[in-house]
Structure 1
Amino acid sequence: MSSTGTTFEQIQYTINTYAHAVDFKQYDRLAKVFTPDAVADFPGLAPDVRGLPAIQEMLEKTTGKYTYQHLQGSPLVDAEDGAAKATTYFRAVLFGSGDFQGQAVHMFGAYKDELTRINEGWRISRRDVVFMGPVQGDAAIVEAFGKGQL
């Protein structure tokens, strides 16, 4: 799909691949999402992570032992001449395990992406995560999340 469909569909495929890669722990699939030199900013967790290997490592470390579910919507894409900007709202739910079994954290925000068209398809060259409201859930798990302890 990434090389077929309209530009909008191709970009949405790239953005949706991120959610599936994280939710299903398929971190190698992030190579179909980010450029090799991408920069990603996850405020409060990992600001300005540089390069695909560092992004993969950070996401595996912070999401690997938990179950996540991403819901994405209201995409807005502006593309021209092999470059694009996209904003996609998200709701991500982290389901606790271990000491946090049965608890959940709800995060609301937007992915603000800059994308580049390369030979393999559209890839994110910069991602800024913008949280839109407080992280919600059980106080102990929210505090651990906020401290990057999950």
Structure 2
Amino acid sequence: MTPQHISDRLEIQDVLVRYCHAVDRKQWDILQTLFTDDATVDYSAFGGPKGPAGELPGYFIDVLANVRSTQHTISTSLIDLTEDHAVVRSAAQVMMISDAPNDTDHVLFVGLWYRDSLVKVADGWKLRERVQEYSWVHNVQSAHNG
């Protein structure tokens, strides 16, 4: 591995982690900087948008309206890298807490895979395409019934 290859891999991992923090902190302006202007997403596996990445802030604002807290994690990223393009598959888990009856917390968990395509542009690596793949959910049904 060359020093440039190592640097690129670290920068790509940083984009993936910044995405998680931007969503959890509801920093929609930062979220947008992680995508190219023509980026697309496919979040249909969980009922989300399929189209321009610019739709994500509105989608998250709606989905998180009744959620007190979220924590996104990403791990086991498999990065296939060329000079200016990368294909990445990463495991992700999302924990969400909302209010439940009787002043209790409702905690639900979602497991998914991200399939990403990133490109190297003048100011670093950016997501050009992000697809969510369904893996598992836990405690989601009671969230809708509670």
Q: TM-score, normalised by structure 2?
A: 0.83
Measured after TM superposition, the shift of residue 11 of structure 1 is: 0.2
Q: Aligned residue for 1:39?
A: 40
Q: Aligned residue for 2:142?
A: 140
Equivalent positions of 1:1-150 (< 5 A) are 6-42=7-43, 43-52=45-54, 54-66=55-67, 67-97=69-99, 102-133=105-136, 135-137=137-139, 139-141=141-143, 143=144
What is the distance in 1 between the residues matched to 2:38 and 2:57?
A: 12
What is the distance in 1 between the residues matched to 2:130 and 2:15?
A: 12
Give the ranges of 4+ consecutive aligned residues of structure 1 lying more than 4 Å apart after TM superposition.
98-101
Q: TM-score, normalised by structure 1?
A: 0.81
What is the distance in 1 between the residues matched to 2:141 and 2:46?
A: 17
What is the distance in 2 between the residues matched to 1:101 and 1:123?
A: 40
Verify the 8 A CA contact 1:79 1:85 in the aligned structure 2.
yes
Q: Which moved more, 1:28-37 or 1:98-107?
A: 98-107
For the pair shown, the structure with the greater C-alpha radius of gyration is 2
1:7–1:127 CA distance, 2 compared to 1 (3 A): same
Measured after TM superposition, the shift of residue 61 of structure 1 is: 2.3
Map Cα deviations across residues 21-52 of structure 1 (whole Å, 9 max, x no partner). 01111111112311112111112322413142
Map Cα deviations across residues 72-104 of structure 1 (whole Å, 9 max, x no partner). 111111111311101111111111137695001
What is the distance in 2 between the residues matched to 1:129 and 1:75?
A: 14
Q: What residue ranges of structure 1 are gaps of 5+ in the alignment? A: 145-150
Q: What residue ranges of structure 2 are gaps of 5+ in the alignment? A: 1-5
Verify the 8 A CA contact 2:100 2:106 in the aligned structure 1.
no
Identical aligned residues as a percent? 21
Q: Which moved more, 1:97-106 or 1:82-91?
A: 97-106
Q: Matched residue pairs, number?
A: 137
Letter of the 2:75 partner, please give it.
Answer: G
